[in-house]
Structure 1
Amino acid sequence: MKNKSAQTKAWKTVQIARHPERPQFLDYANELFEDFDTLHGDRLFGDDGAMVGGLARFDGKPVMVVGQHRGRSTRERLQHNFGMCNPEGYRKSQRLLDLAERFNLPVLTFIDTMGAYPGIGAEERGQAEAIATSLAQLASLKVPVIATVLGEGGSGGALGIGVADRVIMLSHSIYSVISPEGCASILWKTAEKAEQASEALALTADKLVKMGIVEHVIDEGEGAHLNVEQVMQSLKEVLNQTLAELQPMDADERCEARYQRLMKFGSDNPGIVS
């Protein structure tokens, strides 16, 4: 009964993370930041609507903001490709991160994607290379990097903007190497066991913070869509506190700490920051 209860809780979290009324990246961007000016294009192929980013002010201080936006209406979802980035999306984020480092701007990324777009065109244009380059760039970036999982953090599509000094999760968001349906299809040859897979993946915020993969969890009650103002205010406070902690650090010291944070994953002593 205990295992069944845990499965039900994990699966409920998956459903809330995917709730159609859940606040999305641009909702947070418009509420948390002032003077948010989006920048477009990767200067190689085109502009990817799934990845949105640009310059903004956070409590009056300049920052670089990058996030994945899924859209709500059919037209908006098509415009943003349902939040699934093509290679040009990751190359656009790389361009913005280069600008952030050049002008010494903290980077705030916001994750909400089922995963990177798996189409043939994306593969032909170097999807895997684009994500790998993003991982390497974020690992060595000299400025503070804070990643926040807003809803669904799926696979390499999420990791492409997820390597950071600190990772924040909303309490009903999820973060995993694969979707529960994808996991179930591989392990049991049927997506009908997605509920069971959701527990096996340990994709909820409470489990990830225990493993040291996430540093802060924002309590959203029964769901961010029911407590929008409270959740955004809580997130703003945590972002402020985290920036205040990271910015005074020497750049090389911060990069080394980021590297050591990554190297602790999977160890018996994850070095959790509460």
Structure 2
Amino acid sequence: MKNKSSQKKAWKTVQIARHPERPQFLDYANALFEDFDILHGDRLYGDDDAMVGGLARFEGQPVMVVGQHRGRSTRERLKYNFGMCNPEGYRKSQRLLDLAERFNLPVFTFIDTMGAYPGVGAEERGQAEAIATSLAQLSGLKVPVISTVIGEGGSGGALGIGVADRVIMLSHSIYSVISPEGCASILWKTADKAEQASEALALTADKLKKMGIVEYVIDEGEGAHLNTERVVEQLRDVLNTTLAELKLMDVNERCEARYQRLMKFGSDNPGLAS
């Protein structure tokens, strides 16, 4: 009975994370940051609207902001490719993070994607390589990096901008190696068991915090679409506190802590690096 209740709770979280009225990246960017100047293009192939980023100010300080935007109307969703980035999106984020490193700008990333775009063209243009390069780049950045999961955090598409000193999740967001439907299709050969898979994946913020995958959970109440202003202010406070904490750390100390944070994932004792 308890397992059934837990499944329903996890599945409800998945549904809220996908709610059509849920605030998206540009909603948070415009509410949290001033002078947000969006930059375009990867300087190699083209521009990917699913990955949005640029220079901004946070509490008066220059920063770099990067996030995945999904769109709401059918026209917007097609424009932003439902938040599923092509290689150009990850290479654009790499270009922006290079700028952040050069000018010593803290980095804020916002995750909201079902996953990277799996089309043939994306694979031909090096989707896996682009994500791998992004992981390596983020692992070695000397500036503070803070990631926030605001909706869905799906697979490598999310990790491409998710390697950070601190990871924050909204309480009704999800973060997982695969979607519940994809997991169910692999394990049970049917997407009908997505509810069961959502519990098995441990994709909710509270479980991920217990495992040490995320550091902070922002309470949304019944959902960020119902309490947007309150959620934004809570998030602003956590981002401000976290950035101040990271800026006090020595650069080498911060990089080593980020490395150790990654190495402990999957260990038997979440408090120790494997």
Q: Pick the TM interval, shorter chain.
A: over 0.9
Mapping 1:31-180, distance limit 5 Å: 31-180=31-180
Q: Which residue of 1 aligns with 2:198?
A: 198
Deviations 1:114-157 (A, max 9, x none): 00000000000000000000000000000000000000000000
Q: Distance in 2 between matches of 1:53 and 1:75?
A: 21
Q: TM-score if structure 2 supplies the norm length?
A: 0.98
Structure 1 unaligned regions, length at least 5: none
Relative to the length of structure 1, the TM-score reads 0.98
The corresponding residue for 1:241 is 241
The answer on 1:17 being equivalent to 2:13 is no
* 1:75, distance to aligned residue in structure 2 (A): 1.1
User: Which residue is 2:250 aligned to?
Assistant: 250
Distance 2:269 2:234 in 1: 29
Give the stretch that moved more between structures: 180-189 or 242-251.
Answer: 242-251
Deviations 1:20-75 (A, max 9, x none): 00000000000000000000000000000000000000011000000000000111
- What is the alpha-carbon distance in structure 2 between the residues aligned to residue 264 and residue 224 of structure 1? 31
Q: Aligned partners of 1:177 and 1:58: how far apart in 2?
A: 31
Runs of 4 or more above 6 Å deviation: none
Following superposition, the deviation at residue 269 of structure 1 comes to: 2.6
Give, in whole Å, the separation in 1 of the partners of 2:137 and 2:222.
36
Distance (whole Å) between structure 2 residues aligned to residue 216 and residue 166 of structure 1: 8
RMSD of aligned alpha carbons? 0.8
Counterpart amino acid of 2:96? Answer: L
Q: Distance in 2 between matches of 1:262 and 1:32?
A: 28
**1:179 shift after superposition:** 0.1
1:267 CA drift (Å) = 1.7
Inter-partner Cα distance in structure 2 for 1:231 and 1:269 = 32
Q: Any gaps of 5 or more consecutive residues in structure 2? A: none
Count of residue pairs the alignment pairs up: 272
Q: Which residue type is aligned with residue 268 of structure 2?
A: D
Deviation at 1:162, TM superposition (A): 0.2
Kindly provide the CA deviation profile for residues 78-110 of structure 1, in whole angstroms up to 9, marking residues without a partner as x.
111110000000000000000000000000000
Q: Could you say what secondary structure the match of 2:225 adopts?
A: helix
Aligned-residue offset at 1:268: 2.8
Find the aligned partners of 1:57 and 1:31 in 2 and give their Cα distance: 11
CA deviations 1:181-235 (Å, max 9, x no partner) are 0000000000000000000000000000000000000000000000000000000
Whole-Å Cα distance in 1 between the matches of residues 38 and 253 of structure 2?
Answer: 31
2:221 aligned with 1:221: yes
Counterpart CA distance in 2 for 1:25 and 1:40 is 16
Q: CA deviation at 1:252?
A: 1.2
Report percent identity of matched pairs.
88
Cα distance in 2, alignment partners of residues 122 and 169 from structure 1: 28
Q: In the aligned structure 2, how far is the partner of 1:121 from the partner of 1:194?
A: 29
